[in-house]
Amino acid sequence: MKSIAIDMDEVVADTLAGYIQWHHQKTEELISKDNVFKAGKYFFDYMGQEKDGPIRQYLQQKGFFRDLPVIENAQEVIRLLAKNYEIYFVTATMPFRNALEDKYDWLLDHFSFIPVSHYVFCGDKSLIGTDYMIDDHAYNLETFRGKGLLFHASHNVHEIGYHRVKSWVEVKQFFEMEGNI
């Protein structure tokens, strides 16, 4: 059975929505996701935050990764893929001290049909040896030896050279064309 590594943030967990919601609660300012995408930036950069700004500090707090919404259609498509592929959730957790428990619990809540033995919390994804990887960061796909899919996110709109998927419906279509759904 072939295998797929799936990133969490901005691939199945909507961190951009989490940033926007947190910012709105703190300032009452509404930020449009569309405007962040049009700018082609990370939310922090879009907001003009310094490296240690309040939004980045919030990432370090317990709970941020725990309450993120699921990206539309992710659960249904991954459930379908799991019938024919070994699914692994692979996420770079190490830069965020409190993220490990939050991300683990989040996966249990939203993707309990994937065994916990298939959760990979790491700092460097170059060690991943699956057949496919779905990630929002091109640098993770650069060293990947399988077939990489770049999941569309505000910070990667200008990336080229990768097979881009803009939604989980497009992920499903890709794997249908691969002939194994």
pLDDT band at 123 (very low <50, low <70, confident <90, very high): confident
Question: What contacts 47, CB < 8 A, 6 or more positions away?
Answer: 23, 31, 53, 55
Q: Which of 9, 14, 135, 136 is catalytic?
A: 9
The conformation of residue 66, written as its DSSP 8-state character, comes to G
11: tokens are: 């691939």
Q: Does residue 109 have an active-site annotation? A: no
Tell me if 67 sits within 8 A of 18, measured CB to CB: yes
Radius of gyration of the CA atoms of the chain, in A: 16
Question: What percentage of the chain reaches a pLDDT higher than 90?
Answer: 70
143: tokens are: 């060293």
pLDDT digits (tens, 9 = 90+) for 8-40: 999 999 999 998 998 888 889 899 999 999 999
Look up the pTM and report it. Answer: 0.93
Q: Does residue 9 have an active-site annotation? A: yes
Tell me if 82 sits within 8 A of 114, measured CB to CB: yes
Tell me if 120 sits within 8 A of 91, measured CB to CB: yes
58: tokens are: 């919030």
